[in-house]
Amino acid sequence: MKNICYKFLLTIFASSLLFSCSSTNSDIDFDFTTLKKSKKIKVVKQENKNKKINQEKNSIIEDLVPLRDRKEILSKIKFGKKDPFSEGEFQSNKLLTDLILKGFLNTENNKYVFVSYLDNEGSITKDSVGGVNTTLLPNGAKVINIDSKNMQLIISVDNENYIFEM
């Protein structure tokens, strides 16, 4: 404990001796001519700013081109889907690749065709309409004729007939 006290006193004495011997220079030589003067800021009234912003918005709105009507766009389409705005419209080439005939069955009352469409298998009759009473045909597709003798199925889609044979 004595040793710590001696070290503490020695530290205080040495530091006071060093600070007292150092030279103090109280003359400050600073040139104020190198400082730049601040610029005056022009205060713009809030009303003028709002008027300018409103004028800019109005000029931008006047430059906008209005959207065309849905009927106008639909009338210019000559191929592909009839309605470009629809999500799940039927495409005829998809029908040809996705619909597969599996077989025919005749009973006294009805004629059935076993089909596979989009990983669904089942039977359809002459009354089958896609999206209405069956999921085995595309939406809007209608069975026109089932000819079990010639192994043919005729389907109408968008006023076009498609013949499927086994």
Q: In this structure, what token pair is assigned to residue 82?
A: 């009839």
Question: How crowded is residue 134: how many other Cβ atoms within 10 Å of its Cβ?
Answer: 19
DSSP 148: T
Question: How crowded is residue 114: how many other Cβ atoms within 10 Å of its Cβ?
Answer: 15
Look at the block and give the residue holding tokens 């190198």.
34
User: Structural domain boundaries of the chain?
Assistant: 92-165
pLDDT of 114 reads 92
Q: Which one, of 91, 76, 87, 79, lies nearest residue 158 by Cα?
A: 91
Q: How far is CA 26 from the centre of its chain?
A: 71
| Rounded Cα gap, residues 122 and 103, in angstroms | 10
Q: Which one, of 103, 105, 148, 109, lies nearest residue 121 by Cα?
A: 103
CA distances from 40 to 17, 33, 48, 120 (A): 52, 19, 19, 79
* Class of domain 92-165 (CATH, top level): mainly beta
pLDDT by residue, tens only, the chain of 166 residues: 778 888 888 888 888 777 666 666 556 666 767 777 777 776 655 666 667 677 777 777 777 777 777 777 767 766 555 555 665 544 555 666 788 889 998 888 889 999 988 888 999 999 899 888 888 888 888 999 998 888 899 998 888 888 888 7
Q: Which amino acid is it at 2?
A: K
Cα–Cα–Cα angle for 106, 112, 118, nearest 5°?
A: 150
The four Cα atoms 33, 38, 40, 45 give a dihedral, to 10 degrees, of 180
Contact 125, 143 (CB under 8 A): yes
| Rounded Cα gap, residues 95 and 15, in angstroms | 98
